[in-house]
Amino acid sequence: MAIIACPECHKKVSSHAPICTHCGFQMGAVSAEQLNIFRMRKLRDKIYHLNIISYAVITLFLAAFGWYWWDSGGFEHQSSAGPFVLMGLAALAYLYVRGLLFRSRRSQKVLRQKQFTRLKPGQKL
Ligand SMILES: [Zn+2]
C-alpha cells in the first residue's frame, strides 16, 4: 500500500482507496476530461450552496428590518442600534456571498469552455 497525492485536492490518500477521503474524488486512472467533469460538479454544488446562503442572508436582512420596524413602534420613534448593526452585517455578508458567486460562475464558464474545446469539430455535447 502506498500513499499518493489526490489529483484534485493534493492531500495524501492510500493508493488502494476507491475515492479520496478528503474531497470525494474518484481515484484510479482518470482522464483530463473526467477531472474536468468532477471539477464542474463540485463547482455546481458550490454555486448551489452559495445561492442558498445568499437567500438566507436576504431573509436575515428582512428580519432585521422587521426588528427595526417593531423596535421603533412603526417608525414612530428612534430605534435601538441592534437592528442597524444586523442590517449592516447582513448587507456586507450578502455582498461577500455575491462576490464568491461571481468568481465561481466565472470559473464554471472557463471549465465549460475547456470541456467544449476538447470535443472534436462537429461533435455535439
Ligand atoms: Zn482529494
How far apart CA 1 and CA 3 sit, in angstroms, is: 7
Residue 24: count other Cβ atoms within 10 Å of its Cβ.
13
Q: Is the pTM of this model over 0.75?
A: no
> Ligand 1 centre from 39 Cα, in Å?
11
- Ligand 1 centroid distance, CA of 27 (Å): 9
User: Ligand 1 being an ion, which residues bring their Cβ within 5 A of it?
Assistant: 6, 8-9, 20, 22-23, 25
C-alpha span between 67 and 101 (Å, rounded): 28
H helix runs in the chain, sequence order:
32-71, 82-118
What is the identity of the amino acid at 39? R
Q: How far is the CA of 24 from the centre of ligand 1 (A)?
A: 6
13-17, 24-28, 62-66: range with lowest mean pLDDT: 24-28
What's the pLDDT band for 6 if we cut at 50, 70, 90?
A: confident
> Does the pLDDT at position 30 exceed 80?
no
**pLDDT one-digit tens code per residue, 69-125:** 999 999 999 989 999 999 999 999 999 999 999 999 999 999 888 877 766 566 555
